[in-house]
Amino acid sequence: MPQIKADRRFLPAELLPPVLLCSALVLACSGGPFDLLGRTADEPKVVSPAVDSLGREGKVLVSWAPEAAADGYRLYRDSLPDGSGRLLVYEGSSTAVADAVPAMDTLFYYRLAKIRGSREFGPSDPVPGVASSVARDSQMNDERSSATPVNYVTQATIFYYRDAWGNEIEDRDWYLMQVPPRSFVTVAVTNLSNTDLGELYFQVENQTAQLLSTTGGERKLFNFDLEARPVYFQIYVAKDAFVGELSAPGGKIAAYQIEYRQTNAI
């Protein structure tokens, strides 16, 4: 810590003895007084925060990695990506904030700044975030490789949001169903919210996507092979219909239930 020497003259007198002691016991004293002035000489890096949309009802969860070169953090929420309507929503040393947004189903933009002494570093580039009166489910099945097996009843959510600049927050739900040889399995999708499920696509892998009905509907998953195999399918949003207008900003979250109904021989 070469900067210790240079900074020593700024120390309050009462800290001098422990600092000198620490200098003598270099290895033994890695905390304590050193921490007041022992931050690295580097300036804090300006990094955008991680933004978790819809993780909790009415709240956007924002977090970031701690940085030794920073004394604290400031989190800003903007109404628009250009920085309009900026509000300081957090200042302090925490690295996670659950921000209660002033409007549901509306995109906001989060920027993180780091504080060192009296200087502010940043704020970062904006990251969009949104909250709704419904929280999203906790299934991480956006990709085929993380598809959720359909075992009996699964309750799920799907969402889509976009702003006037084309920023999108998109959800996609992948599922898989083990289908016996020469059989088909029927699965049912049921609406659990006021959102029209006719704005959702149901697509079996390698087949044409089809819209569900307002209330959901049943779908058959075929296996013509002589061995059992998983059939993959996904549910995703018909974007313009879901938002309600071509290329318009907006969005919402829908809740539904998916369940196994029956297996039949072909």
Site residues, Ca ion (CB under 5 A): 158, 171, 173
Q: Which is nearer to Ca ion, 70 or 150 (CB)?
A: 150
Amino acid at 18: P
> Considering beta carbons, is residue 18 or 55 the nearer one to Ca ion?
55
- Closest contact distance (angstroms) between CB of 234 and Ca ion is 10
Nearer to Ca ion, 112 or 158 (CB): 158
Minimum gap (Å) between residue 137 Cβ and Ca ion: 5
Rg (CA), the chain: 26
Q: Where are the alpha helices (DSSP H) in the chain?
A: 3-7, 16-24, 33-37, 239-243
At closest approach, how far in Å is the CB of 140 from Ca ion?
9
Judged by beta carbon, residue 78 or residue 171, the one nearer Ca ion is 171
Q: Which residues contact 88 (CB under 8 A, 6 or more apart)?
A: 74, 75, 76
Rounded to a whole number of angstroms, the minimum distance from the CB of residue 259 to Ca ion is 16
Whole-angstrom distance, CA of residue 174 vs CA of residue 142: 6
Record the tokens describing residue 227, joined without a space.
Answer: 């061995």
Nearer to Ca ion, 171 or 199 (CB): 171
Token pair for residue 208?
A: 């044409």
Q: How far is CA 207 from the centre of its chain?
A: 30
- The least CB distance from residue 148 to Ca ion, in Å, is 9
| First and final C-alpha spacing in the chain | 74
- Give the separation between CA 109 and CA 103, rounded to whole angstroms: 13
